[in-house]
Chain A
Amino acid sequence: MPGSRSNRALRFWQVALFLAFLAFWHVATSPTLLPPFYFDNPHKAAFFFGEPLKVLARTWDWFSSGTIYPHLWVTLLETVLAFVIGTMLGLGMGLWLALSPVASALLDPYIKALNSMPRVILAPIFGVWFGLDIASKVALGVTLVFFIVFFNVYQGVREVSYTVLANARILGASERQLLRHVYLPSAMSWVFASLHNSVGLAFVGAVVGEYLGSSRGVGYLILQAEGTFDINSVFAGILVLTAFALLLDWVVSLAERRLLAWQPRGGETEKM
């Protein structure tokens, strides 16, 4: 494969940058390596910014002792539920409104208002409505995911090529078959374009919901650690969240590649 050498060089520099950052963090916060240059007490830097080795040790500790798993499981469950429910609702509503001009005209101002509202503010209300268990976090995630998917589906259906549609009609497609074989696949390509966004937001909904009130989850862990000024655990929680956000993103990329095989990719050539 051409470019693999420069690719490897790129990877090297990416890792080097990360290690340099860790080293800087370590040196700047260690009570012994440098004389204090900003704080009056050598332990204050570590108190405010944590220490990378302790953050890694804490992360390792969570995984080796297994204390993180129930929390991680809850957060991931909330994310997946919010993502699936939000996507389904967005898909359904998007198709319905795009294909029904009357409903679309009627609901247009409400959709716009709901979309421009800062929805994170709903989290405490959901807490009151759905309790402090996972339902309130899922609800928050759903409100975030729904609009992304909804607008993409709406757009996707509106932009179905007139010719493709007319052709399918002439080939004998009923209204139902048009929905199944033309509108839905066309909308799906738009949904997939937004999938990275919506998975990320489902995750945000879960963590923010936990942070605002819960008894389990990674957001809860972070809140607890903040309550005791345990900055290393806060960073460890953020590290775990970031790692799993990247993992989810990767899963989405895999699904995307499988399901959108029909779309042209840049520089695709035939293999002889």
Chain B
Amino acid sequence: MAVAALALEDITVTFVSQDGGRYTALRNTTLRIAPGEFVSVVGPTGCGKSTLLNVAVGLLQPSAGRIRVFDEPLAGLNRKAGYLFQTEALMPWRTALQNVTAGLEFRKTDSSQAARQAENWLQRVGLGGFGERYPHQLSGGMRKRVALAQTLILDPQIILMDEPFSALDIQTRQLMENELLELWSANRKSVVFITHDLEEAISLSDRVVVLSAGPEAHPIGEFDIDLPRPRDVAEIRLAPRFIELHTLIWRAMKNEVLKSYARQQKQ
């Protein structure tokens, strides 16, 4: 196999709380993402999906295991990765344009050139002319687009997305998913897309990885999605092959979802 863009090898993450309690979120998890591959990770809520991404981007040190980025061991933050957060991550004191230029500014790019590039990216995510708005003046979907432009302007080789669209209504969500696919196929990067929504995972990805219910979550199944591209996320959901794949993956997931649900009931 060629060099993986991102390889998480035998990752275990154990949190220690202040009163000495231990919680193992992930156990012996291995995940390899090829360059240009779109991989979704699905699993029941609270199974450590976000933990996995935080390890991959270098915000969190794993208790055991190795992370390699294009065959280099990861030390500190992952400079080849961009990260799209589930919750609001824009700087509220900056306008949309200033938010998009932030990464370039941190890299000391010439400011007029950065502004030009940012304008261009705002156009590409459908927000031309909204550059002067502050985040609170934009809708949730628009803020997600700004966040997307903010990440993509730096041209990261790996894009990590943590349920980025889960707070959006269903129509906005499908629009954003289609736009994401369009942006991605124009310039294929490796994507790790975290979601609890199986349909979203199948319609976007090349491969779907199912995590078991936490604690000690680990991958319990991998499914290649052989649906043709380009795809329209709303239409592909009706394709017979989609339904077959959905049935197949759901069968693998179902037990884990029930386990997770039972655990929540007990608490």
Contact = CB atoms under 8 A, between A and B. Distances in A.
Pairing of A with B:
yes
Interface of A: 161, 163-164, 166-174, 177, 181-182, 185-186, 189, 261-264, 268, 270
A171 B85 contact: no
Contacts of B79: 172
Interface stretch (B9-17, B88-96, B117-125, B202-210): B88-96
B83 A262 contact: no
Contacts, number: 69
A164 B103 CA distance: 13
Contact of A182 (B81, B91, B134, B151): B91
B184 to A, nearest CB: 19
Nearest to B134: A262
Contact of B107 (A166, A172, A181, A186): A172
B59 interface: yes
Nearest to A167: B89
Interface in B80-111: 81-83, 85, 87-95, 102-103, 105-107
Given A161-B88, A163-B88, A263-B136, A173 B106 contact: yes
A163 B85 CA distance: 7
B106 A171 contact: yes
B57 interface: yes
Q: How would you classify the secondary structure of chain B's contact residues: helix, strand, loop or mixed?
A: loop
Contacts of A168: 91, 102, 106
B234 interface: no
A-B complex: 9 closest residue pairs judged by Cβ atoms: A167-B89, A171-B103, A264-B136, A185-B93, A172-B106, A262-B134, A163-B89, A262-B93, A173-B106
A80 B24 CA distance: 56
Given A163-B85, A262-B95, 15 more contacts: A167-B83, A168-B106, A169-B59, A170-B77, A172-B106, A174-B106, A177-B106, A181-B106, A182-B91, A186-B93, A189-B93, A261-B134, A262-B136, A268-B137, A270-B137
B92 A262 contact: yes
Contacts of A173: 102, 106
Most buried by A among B57, B78, B91, B154: B91
Given A181-B102, A261-B134, A264-B136, A170 B82 contact: yes
B57 A170 contact: yes
B150 interface: yes
Nearest to A174: B106
A258 to B, nearest CB: 13
A169 B103 CA distance: 9
Contacts of B77: 169-170
A181 B91 contact: yes
Nearest to B83: A170
Nearest to A169: B77
Contacts of A270: 137
B190 to A, nearest CB: 16
Contacts of A261: 134
16 contacts: A163-B87, A166-B85, A168-B106, A169-B77, A171-B106, A171-B154, A172-B107, A173-B106, A181-B102, A185-B93, A261-B134, A262-B92, A262-B93, A262-B95, A262-B134, A263-B136
